[in-house]
Structure 1
Amino acid sequence: MTATVHAIVDLDVTGHRINRHIYGHFAEHLGRCIYDGFWVGEDSEILNVRGIRSDIVEALRALNIPNLRWPGGCFADTYHWRDGIGPRDERPRIANTNWGDVVENNHFGTHEFMDLCEMLGADAYVNGNVASGTVQEMAEWVEYLTRGDDSPMARLRRENGRDEPWDVPFWGIGNEPWGCGGNMTAEYYANEARRYGHFSRGHGENKVTRIAAGASDDDLNWTRALMSSAADCAGCMTGGDLPYEAITFHYYTHSGEGINTEDATRFTDEQHYGTIAHAADIDRVIRGHVAVMDSYDPNDRMSLICDEWGTWWNVEEGTNPGFLFQQNTVRDALVAGIHFDIFHKHARRISMANIAQTVNVLQAMVLTDGESLVLTPTYHVFEMNKGHQDALQLATHLRETPTRTVGKKELELVSMSASAKGDTALISLTNVSVDEECTATVDLRGREARVARARVLTGDGADAYNDAETPDRVAPRALDAVVRDGVLTATLPPHAFATVELELA
């Protein structure tokens, strides 16, 4: 069977800018994300530059990676940055009690991370330690990174081989303080965020966006506590100094049965649709947080960040349960496509998002095994969608779309978003149906357009994935799409993500 979807895109009605940082990434000291992922060491036979794996850098640069969050995650609130500076053979070994209870040698620290960001051409998002650290420790880390004169921390940085300060535009004030980051109450953490934020200021010309650690899922009380605390600062919401410029929330996707309760590659149709419905529900969650923020901050001085998102499945058989290594299927790619459509929709408030995580952990971009590197289906969604970065929203209207009842709700089986940049536009379409193709007809209004390129990502099933033996089983291929008399027509296979690039007149 072939379903149909009808939509309208107003090519001359632009909205908010889609911040490129919505396409951000996350690298925690977890499993094989850093060690045996990004970091192989200078003595490795795997091609590297100063210990950083070259093929990973090349793959991520192709995505126009805008930012990278580090060192956590839960690890951030046990990490003391001075352990990771100075000669590597003199750095103390530490126990990573959050993830796998392994001992690491701290060979990847501040200088290595900033070196990685420079190789990637990505902005640094450094997450500070609130739970087990101190205000002074965090303030000195900011100084070490960003100050250019002869202050004590600037001198220490120079002693460790870096003369000029770095630009660090994003600074996280702890992580998940309601859980692994200290088991705090919302009110207690809100006070701590104000205190830490006060001392975590950029130096010189480096302007730091201070990011307060926010809610899990739809905990609106946590957002309310942070916004209320910020509003208590005299004049904060009407032009005065903010204690922090952004707040976060975390949202992990599963089929409704809970995190880490089912397999990445073996699932039923019901679990597939449950997963898609859970992914789509992030729209409701964002709307709730935005409503709270609007009530305190009608002038949009503070932004909302989803700095951990993605699927969370059982680890692959035979791997360390604490390393969170999972395969990545077409289903995961569809989750990514839906998330981006929703992030685009909320571009007024959403200024950043960070998928968890970049290498070998959870919904990764790349998977490595020795010298082999595999690009996942999710990687290809990021690549196909990169034209949305810093583009302007386009008014998009789904007039007719197939649906399916999941639980007590109706799930739309096609998701869509569009943006424009100069004389080009990009339309993204996701067909989440397991077994029905879908013909989309899109009225393109306001400007003439022609198809410059159209691509589709799918596989033999929603459970299809790439591995070292078949690295291109799920990869973009050409899609037959045409514009006639102002109407774009394309037929999407089942379980497929597609993009159509337009040239505008």
Structure 2
Amino acid sequence: MKKFTALSFVSVLLALPPWLFPVTAAEQVQIAVNQPGPVINKDIFGQFVEHIGEGVYGGLWVGKDSDIPNTNGLRNDVISALKQLHVPVVRWPGGCFADQYHWREGIGPQTTRVSRSNAWGNVIEPNQFGSDEFMELAEQIGSEAYLTVNVGSGTVKEAADWLEYLTSYNATSLASLRAENGHPEPYRVKYIGFGNEAWGCGGAMSASEYFAKLKPFSVFALNHNPEQRFSGIDLLFDHGASNPDAMVRVAAGPNDGDTAFTESLMKSWASAPGYLPIFDAMSLHHYTMSRGPMSDSSVNFGQAEYVRFVSMAMEMEDVLNQHIDVMDKYDPEKRVSLVVDEWGNWLKPDISENPMFLKQQNSLRDAITAGLTLNTFMRHADRVKMANIAQMVNVIQSMILTKDDAMVLTPTYHLYKMYVPFQDSTLLPLAFRPETITVNGETLPQFDAVTARSKTGQLWMALINIDPVNAVDIEPLAENGYVTKASGSVLTATEVNTVNDFDKPDAVLAKPVAFKRDQNGRMIITLPPKSITVVMLEN
């Protein structure tokens, strides 16, 4: 059993000079407003779409002839909801699906597309949703594209052709084919992932085997959009070429705590010619689950299971530190980003007709663990530059559940909406010493906090009361004076396993809150039990 003490928990925060904490009924949180930290890359709040169950078909794509209101085949209600999250980036087509996906089978007239067997549920993959449809999705919700190329069963040429089809400005045959398919202008591709889970479903390779296979993909799979060039073979001819908007190349990295994989991959990266880096980022996958995927109920649980999942979610801190320590050894300048492009609570598919469709319910517990995980990513913003929760619609810890023409927004959706102000904000160091709680043998800090200054100058604080029973009072204090006002929203519910379903879609809903100084001149923010509160602070 892992023990979390108040001292050990605060130690994971950014280091600050020692400050005095007077005895007080409220928990004080000191904000170092004049000591800005790293920028929190908005892509930390990214999403993930894979061809599993209703993750694409029915959830996002219904086709242009559907009775469900849609725009170019994408259902309007889901698109409207996703727009409110300001989704910065979407990863597609996988996942394990990516290493069996062949892009040419999903372009052109719908009637000529190739149907395949999809191992996720043993169903037919009709390829009605392909490259152009995905880019249409990204355009409709205002998101950047993160494509995973097929390294496991594909070829370097296939990957290179895919990027030429998508990004070429020149009138090549592939660019002309894209124009014939309705998009004469080249697309933007911000990230390219070279395979998925090379250690497992992506080919069962060792790190050294994967790196050897990765190198030609890195050199020849080029982004031809002039705005996003300067990578791969470009650097052979211009060693000084650089472009801050260049496509980011993501290597398929380790799973969970496999630091040996990271060690091998980063050592190989560091040994490559300095003018020809093989990748710009490394992925990491880490799901929260007790005994393996689909082993924990998404609806039938109580406080003990809630606290256990909170404890497991907080283990992300240790997982990140282990891999970052290895990365720092070979890359002290932090040139390689860490990308957590699969994470979340992987539970029993309690609402899935086909268990391999991975359709699970989503409770207040899921929102709280997601908030704690996002806070952890933000505290590591100097190395973690993107994260993609699994998955956006109808699969694992989703934002949205659909059933025919109906739609439900999950508690995790509401959390992501509350966290929008943190996108591209600047992290501010905190100092606090939370009390601990012990439930069913698990000892945890009573609350968690993160603070940042938004791009427009506002000071935002996210506070998570982990305690399932007791409220906690928080007194935020800033170096430049007392906080006088706080306003924002709170997300909580009657029980830790409360969900939004099609009969009660608003059982877990963010509600507005506002606080001001009390009669003693103190600004106290009261956090309800098992809750997430996000407020803008004024002084």
TM-score by length of 2: 0.89
- Superposed counterparts of 1:102-251, under 5 Å: 102-203=123-224, 204-206=226-228, 207-235=246-274, 240-251=275-286
Paired residues of 1:331 and 1:463 also in contact (CA < 8 A): yes
State the alpha-carbon separation in 1 of the partners of residues 480 and 254 from structure 2: 40
Report the Cα distance in structure 2 between the residues aligned to 1:448 and 1:6, rounded to whole angstroms: 12
Question: Which amino acid is the alignment partner of residue 176 of structure 1?
Answer: E
In the TM superposition, residue 447 of structure 1 has moved relative to its aligned partner by: 4.9
1:451 to 485, 492, 496: 485
2:105 corresponding residue in structure 1: 83
Q: Measure the CA separation in 2 of the matches of 1:468 and 1:332.
A: 18
SS at match of 2:344: strand
Residue of structure 1 aligned with 2:46, choices 1, 11, 24: 24
User: Distance between the aligned counterparts of 2:302 and 2:497, measured in 1?
Assistant: 10
Question: Are 1:5 and 1:414, in contact at CA under 8 Å, matched by a contact in 2?
Answer: no
* Corresponding residue for residue 69 of structure 1: 91
Q: What CA distance in whole angstroms lies between the structure 1 residues aligned with 2:395 and 2:434? A: 37
| 1:490 Cα offset (Å) | 1.2
Displacement of 1:435: 1.3
Cα separation, 2, equivalents of 1:474 and 1:405: 23
Output the CA distance in 1 between the equivalents of 2:96 and 2:170: 33
CA distance in 1, matches of 2:351, 2:79: 28
- Paired residue total: 496
Other-structure match for 2:117: 95
**How far did 1:265 drift?**
1.0
Instruction: Please state if 1:43 is matched with 2:76.
Output: no
* Letter of the structure 2 residue corresponding to residue 326 of structure 1: Q
Counterpart position of 2:389: 355
CA distance in structure 2 between the partners assigned to 1:374 and 1:273 by the alignment: 26
Residue 485 of structure 2 contacts residue 514 of structure 2 at CA under 8 Å; is this kept in 1? no
Q: Say yes or no: does 1:411 pair with 2:444.
A: yes
**Contact map agreement 1:11 1:447 (CA 8 A) in 2:** no
Question: Quick one: distance in 1 between partners of 2:40 and 2:437?
Answer: 28
Give the secondary structure class of the aligned counterpart of 2:133.
helix
- Following superposition, the deviation at residue 405 of structure 1 comes to 6.7
How far residue 452 of structure 1 moved from its aligned partner, in angstroms, is 5.1
Structure 2 residue 342 is matched with structure 1 residue 316: no
User: Over aligned residue pairs, what C-alpha RMSD do you find?
Assistant: 1.8
Shift of 1:4: 5.3
Query: Structure 1 stretch 203-212 or stretch 45-54: which is displaced more?
Result: 203-212
The amino acid of 1:53's aligned partner reads R
AA in 2 matched with 1:130: V
Q: Which residue of 2 aligns with 1:491?
A: 526
Counterpart in the other structure of 1:288: 322
- Helix, strand or coil: the match of 1:454? strand
1:8 paired with 2:30, answer yes
Within 2, Cα distance between the matches of 1:145 and 1:488? 53
Identity %: 39
Deviation at 1:453, TM superposition (A): 1.8
Q: Assess if the C-alpha contact under 8 Å between 1:5 and 1:402 holds in 2.
A: no
Contact 2:286 2:343 in 1 (8 A): yes
Q: Secondary structure at the match of 1:153?
A: helix
**What is the CA–CA distance in structure 2 between the aligned matches of 1:492 and 1:210, rounded to whole Å?**
41
Task: Give the residue type in structure 1 aligned to 2:78.
Answer: I
CA shift in 2, pair 1:6/1:241, >3 Å: same
Change (3 A) 1:372 1:403: same
Which one has a larger percent strand, Structure 1 or Structure 2? 1
Q: Do 1:449 and 1:486's aligned partners in 2 also have CA atoms closer than 8 Å? A: no
Question: What is the SS of the residue equivalent to 2:535?
Answer: strand
Q: Does 1:268 align with 2:285?
A: no
In the superposition, relative to structure 1, how do residues 483 and 12 fare at CA in structure 2: closer, same or farther (>3 Å)? farther
8 Å contact from structure 1 (residues 194, 230) kept in 2: no
SS across alignment from 2:165: helix
- Does the CA contact (< 8 Å) of 1:7 and 1:400 recur in 2? no
CA distance in 1, matches of 2:497, 2:255: 28
Distance between the aligned counterparts of 2:352 and 2:370, measured in 1? 27
Task: In structure 2, list runs of 5 or more residues that go unmatched.
Answer: 1-24, 229-245
Mapped to 1, the partners of 2:506 and 2:315 lie a distance apart of: 31
Amino acid corresponding to residue 377 of structure 1 in structure 2: P
Task: Give the stretch that moved more between structures: 51-60 or 150-159.
Answer: 150-159
Contact 1:200 1:210 in 2 (8 A): no
User: Alignment partner of 2:38: what SS?
Assistant: strand
Partner of residue 467 from structure 1, selected from 497, 501, 509: 501
Unaligned 5+ segments in structure 1 are none
CA distance in 2, matches of 1:454, 1:71: 36
Q: CA 1:44–1:450 in structure 2 vs 1: closer, same or farther (change >3 Å)?
A: farther
The residue type equivalent to 1:61 in the other structure is K
> The residue matched to 2:254 in structure 1 has which SS?
strand
1:61-83 deviations in Å (ceiling 9; x for gaps):
10111011100101000000000
Code of the aligned partner of 1:199: F
- The alpha-carbon distance between structure 1 residues 491 and 229, as it changes in their structure 2 partners (threshold 3 A), is same
Partner Cα separation in structure 2 for residue 482 and residue 200 of structure 1: 55
Whether contact under 8 Å (1:68, 1:117) holds in the other structure is: yes
2:419 maps to 1:380: no
- Which deviates further from its counterpart, 36-45 or 256-265? 256-265
Q: Is the CA contact 2:168–2:175 (under 8 Å) kept in the aligned structure 1? A: yes
* Residues 168 and 186 in structure 2, CA contact (< 8 A), matched pair in contact too: yes
Q: Distance in 1 between matches of 2:175 and 2:523?
A: 57
User: Per-residue deviation at 1:402?
Assistant: 2.6
